[in-house]
Structure 1
Amino acid sequence: MPPETLHLHHGDCLEVLPTLGAGSHDLVVTSPPYNLGIAYRSYDDTRSRTEFLDWCRQWAREVKRVLADDGSFFLNVGAAPSNPLFPHQVLLALTEELFVLQNTFHWIKSITVETRAGEPISVGHFKPINSKRFVNDCHEYVFHLTKTGNVPLDRRAAGVPYQDKSNIARWGHTGGQDLRCRGNTWFIPYETIQSRDKERPHPATFPVALVEQCVRLHGKGEATRLIDPFLGIGSSAVAATRMNLATFTGIELDERYLGVARERVAADS
């Protein structure tokens, strides 16, 4: 995408978002701090639950203002095994008056499946925990929020081929295409890295492919005007560049993370 359509802002999203035009973006893909004590460089991730949820309502209100009426807001939220209600508390706070929950996706980071021959295959990456109470947490939520709950999606753009090819002719809704809706479980592993400090210095990131999936599903293609109010090290900016989107706006509080985001975009251009 041309440099003039890429807007990376250093600052607090509560200060930058009000400077943007109402309805100026089609798509929001973001992951805010989780209030789980994560060691960010410039943000205190240990607020009280009430204070944190009030803060979420503040920035979500501005997100709704800058989002087009037919726009989509994909909110990635994870949890700690000892705090499993957290994603749902955030969701309830944002759907009390602001948004409608249209879809819930499960971002699968790691999974083990068996082949038809009974052979187990394990793929993906997860952070193992040593616990007698909890199992390893291998997924996060992606909540699809809209203003009305009636926003059309391009399900096939984010689809997968049929495993049983006879379904293509047997089911009329296929239109003869070997592509079906992927559903609400997305297996998107992290890319393998050699050094976390050098390649993934932010403590909580999502893969570029996760953003690309949201862009495809929303269905506006290269005309998409994407915004990420919690840019981090720039996965959404890299996705916008790779997909040649019309515009991208990113906001990041920490100057170092923003610098890494700029470097990633430049390296990918």
Structure 2
Amino acid sequence: MAAPCGPTASMYMEDCVAGMRSHIASASIDVVVTSPPYNLGIDYRSYNDMMPRGEYLAWTREWATEVARVLAPGGSFFLNVGAKPTDPWVPFDVASVMRELFELQNVIHWVKSIAINRSDMGAGVQIDGDIAVGHYKPIRSSRYVNDCHEYVFHFTHTGKVPLDRLAVGVPYQDKSNIARWRETAEARRDLRCRGNTWFIPYTTINSRSDDRPHPATFPPKLPQMCIELHGTSRCATVMDPFMGLGNSALACAGLGVDFVGFELDEFYFSKSVEGARRALASVDARAGRGAAPDAGSSAGPGAR
């Protein structure tokens, strides 16, 4: 599906390993942003999320090998992996598999909820008291703390891919730094690198089944920031091999970037298609071109 003269979205209801082999040419993808099943016993509709760890990691190696093949030499692969307090090793086990195929260039922490004491904010912040913002899954335990973040591993082929750090930059809070660093591009624009802690909360919803009918999905802002960090001027096509509800496709539509993705579950796939059509129609409407055509997304047989 496509917005006329705008970005396209190619979606396949198909196993991502078979799909990448069938549909994606080598070195043709500029950015991969994805969040595969974490193997933590999450209740997906069409997938067993409690495989033996060795089997899960072997499967991870299989799909990651295809990602390595299709990723362009100067491309970026952003891999979101979470954990749970009783099984904190999953992200590190997955990252170890990736070590055989990629260089780990950055580790980003997706912060979903944060608490900050007013005394730690500095004198220039116009906030009266302590704050606690964001969403998290509370746990009752005398051994564990609430898990309020997930990892986003940034892999590349070389570890030397240049990034557009200021595309996701933030203004200097202490403006004296502008004068101190006036010879740098960051100071001249009153922007600094955001760093590797990204606070991206979920939006508040009224109904889980209606508004977010997937047990483990990231907000569209997460893939948006990943794509922007890589650099939209160097990004023609983004792939998400585990689409879920298609939030990576929504980010691509907003940024004017072509998207390709895979999803096995028919229900999640249909939600992805619906969302992408709305997003592309919105792009068209903003450009004054009318509605996006009702072009069907590609669909292939599910395997795994």
| Bin for the TM-score computed over the shorter chain | over 0.9
Q: In the alignment, which residue of structure 2 is the partner of 1:16?
A: 19
Runs of 5+ consecutive residues of structure 2 not aligned to the other structure:
283-304
CA distance in 1, matches of 2:246, 2:77: 17
Structure 1, residues 82-137: CA drift from partner, whole Å, max 9, x if none? 11111001000111x20111000000000011234772111101110111111110
> Superposed, which structure 2 residues align to 1:65-144 within 5 Å?
65-95=69-99, 97-115=100-118, 116=122, 119-144=129-154
User: Larger radius of gyration, structure 1 or 2?
Assistant: 2
CA contact (8 A) 1:222 1:244 kept: no
Q: Does 1:32 align with 2:39?
A: no
Secondary structure (helix, strand or coil) at the match of 1:182 reads: coil
> Superposed, which structure 2 residues align to 1:1-269 within 5 Å?
2=3, 5-19=8-22, 20-95=24-99, 97-115=100-118, 116=122, 119-171=129-181, 172-173=183-184, 174=186, 176-221=188-233, 223-245=235-257, 247-268=258-279, 269=282
CA distance in 2, matches of 1:263, 1:131: 40
Give the counterpart letter for 1:250 in structure 2: G
Q: Which has the higher contact order (CA 8 A, sep 6+)?
A: 2
How many residues in Structure 1 have an aligned counterpart in Structure 2? Answer: 267
Q: In the alignment, which residue of structure 1 is the partner of 2:290?
A: none
Secondary structure (helix, strand or coil) at the match of 2:242 reads: coil
CA contact (8 A) 1:74 1:214 kept: yes
Superposition RMSD in Å: 1.5
Q: Tell me the TM-score normalised to structure 2 length.
A: 0.85
Give the counterpart letter for 1:213 in structure 2: M
Q: In the alignment, which residue of structure 1 is the partner of 2:298?
A: none
Secondary structure (helix, strand or coil) at the match of 1:38 reads: coil
CA contact (8 A) 2:11 2:260 kept: yes
Give the counterpart letter for 1:9 in structure 2: Y
Identical residues among aligned pairs (%): 55
How far the C-alpha of 1:165 sits from its partner, in A, is 1.3
